[in-house]
Structure 1
Amino acid sequence: MKKAMLSMILTAAALTASAADKIVIDGSTTVGPIGKAFAEYFMAANPDVNITVSESGSGNGAKSLVNGVCDVAAMSRPMKDSEFKAAADKGIQPVAHVVALDGLPILVHPKNPIGQLTIEQIRKIYTGEISNWKEVGGPDLNIVVITRDTNSGTYETFEKLVMNKQKITEKAEYVGSNGAIRQRVQTTPSAIGYAGLGFVDKTVKALKVNGVYPSAATVRSGEYPIARPLFMYTSGYPKLGSAVYRFVTLYLSEDGQEMVDEIGFIPVTSY
């Protein structure tokens, strides 16, 4: 009886895997490293499942899910009402899976002596009201303002938590990824930018904001003022036991939490 039951379970699992042997992920460049790490881990454990990860931005991830082009939309912000409506119009019910927490550090060149800014100072820098580092106690250098593309969830988080509905200066440079922000800042002594917590390394300097340094502890406690959840959206709740279900719930496992932590983000649970 036990052997027969085991055979039935294995057969069912094999059928599930073969029915969903491809998972397509699209969206956020912030969540991208998590998606790639999860994909590599998952495919090693499930050789019959192929996973592709694209990083076209949170907004495009939402569009891909609505249009049935991807199975998982990686997003660094919640879906907008307009995106939910577009999904509903096509009979799709997006379901959010919060896979990690993230801070949004303000980055400057390592040689910049500035160590902290307030939200108000950051806002004034990004509106252009403050245009020289000497105005906030730094060197006499014109500030080079770097921001993300407007289709980015990181941009929209920054706009909501920092800009307070004020427009970013027309002099700002727009780049297409968190990695591009870091690269621009690390090569430009007078630059300022922002990126996900997982993109901070020795090539850039993260500033204290309102006196609080961005870290896993301060994001988790709510002290760091520029923080957000990171999402993976699916079309409806995935079928229990399916490849998509096992993939999007990987963050709940001990291995998943370790991967999130190693990438530089903050696990939502801890075992």
Structure 2
Amino acid sequence: MKKTLLSSLTALVALATPLAAQAGTLTVKGSDTMVILVQRWAEEFMKKNPGTKVQVTGGGSGTGLSALQNGTTDIAMSSREMKEAEQEKLRARFSTTGVEIPVAKDGVTFYVNETNPVTALTVEQLKGIYLGDTTNWKDVGGPAANIVLYSRENSSGTYSFVKDNVLGGDDYAANAQTLPGTAAVVNAVAKEKNGIGYGGAAYAKGVKELKIKKGSEEFAPTADNVKSGKYPLSRNLFFYLRNKPSGEAKAFIDFTLSPEGQAVVTKVGYFPVK
């Protein structure tokens, strides 16, 4: 009887213990923009620390922050800042509003097909396109062809960033096709000659990156322009934790912020935070 009771209690404890609490395993979840970077960090970290397993999964910034709130991830990856409502949910369950750690920089990039003659647009022109006010490429210096819009799903931090910083908080055009990750957006634009999409700078393979016009100047999402702030769609990429990092989480974050870890940022195609 005692043995049965003990087994039942053990099972209950196991069910009540978040996945994030398993010894020797560090879970990192969230931003699809950051997945390729954090997976590379995890690979390099595990080579040096074979006793620690780092599990990295995407799903979007909102998904990662929700996992942080319900205790099923150690670290949330987010390509946007945590919202006040998310902090309140975290406070309600864990009596903390979390810890924010910038780990890399990015320039949110708009992509067009390589055959598209358009090379630069203003933020206002991009706003008009994504609100559905501008529907033909000829209106922004391109061919006489309807613009095909690609967007991210609303759980994406990049979706929120573009909505806030390009669309001024307004809703995307109803005909914008939502895709589940930046790689899917890039793939769609690469195949659709009249397409336009957006995402992290590291994903721009097989498509053309648009420069952003400001007055008489044009700025590409380069390391210098992102660092100086000249590129207007620069942003930090974040790790969020419930509390100050310790143990395996601290060791992993220390690695990501080390010179070696920041060199990985550059190799992947993003920009060092330091």
Secondary structure of 1:31 counterpart? helix
2:94/2:242 contact within 8 Å kept? no
State, as a whole percentage, how many aligned pairs show the same letter: 35
Residues 80-125 of structure 1, C-alpha deviations (whole Å, 9 max, x = no match): 0000000000025311110001001110000000011011110001
Q: 2:174 aligns with which of 170, 173, 187?
A: 170
Amino acid at match of 1:24: T
1:66/1:92 contact within 8 Å kept? no
Q: CA deviation at 1:249?
A: 2.2
> C-alpha distance in 1, partners of 2:176/2:252?
38
Aligned to 2:11: none
Alignment of 1:210-221 (within 5 A): 210=213, 211-221=218-228
Q: 1:74 aligns with which of 74, 77, 81?
A: 77
> C-alpha distance in 2, partners of 1:257/1:213?
21
Aligned to 2:195: 191
Secondary structure of 1:236 counterpart? coil
Q: CA deviation at 1:251?
A: 2.5
Aligned to 1:117: 121
2:152/2:181 contact within 8 Å kept? yes
Q: 1:200 aligns with which of 185, 201, 204?
A: 204
Secondary structure of 2:188 counterpart? helix
**Misfit runs of 4+, over 2 Å:** none
> C-alpha distance in 2, partners of 1:185/1:175?
11
Q: Is it true that 1:153 corresponds to 2:157 in the alignment? A: yes
The alignment of Structure 1 onto Structure 2 pairs a total of residues equal to 249
Aligned to 2:139: 135
Aligned to 1:90: 93
Q: Is it true that 1:39 corresponds to 2:42 in the alignment? A: yes
Computed over aligned residues only, the root mean square deviation of the Cα atoms, in angstroms, reads: 1.3
Gaps of 5+ in 2: 1-21
1:251/1:267 contact within 8 Å kept? no
Gaps of 5+ in 1: 1-18
Q: TM-score, normalised by structure 1?
A: 0.89
2:158/2:199 contact within 8 Å kept? yes
Amino acid at match of 1:186: A
Q: CA deviation at 1:165?
A: 2.0
Q: Is it true that 1:26 corresponds to 2:33 in the alignment? A: no
> C-alpha distance in 1, partners of 2:196/2:223?
22
Amino acid at match of 1:68: G
Aligned to 1:243: 248
Secondary structure of 1:266 counterpart? coil
Aligned to 2:260: 255
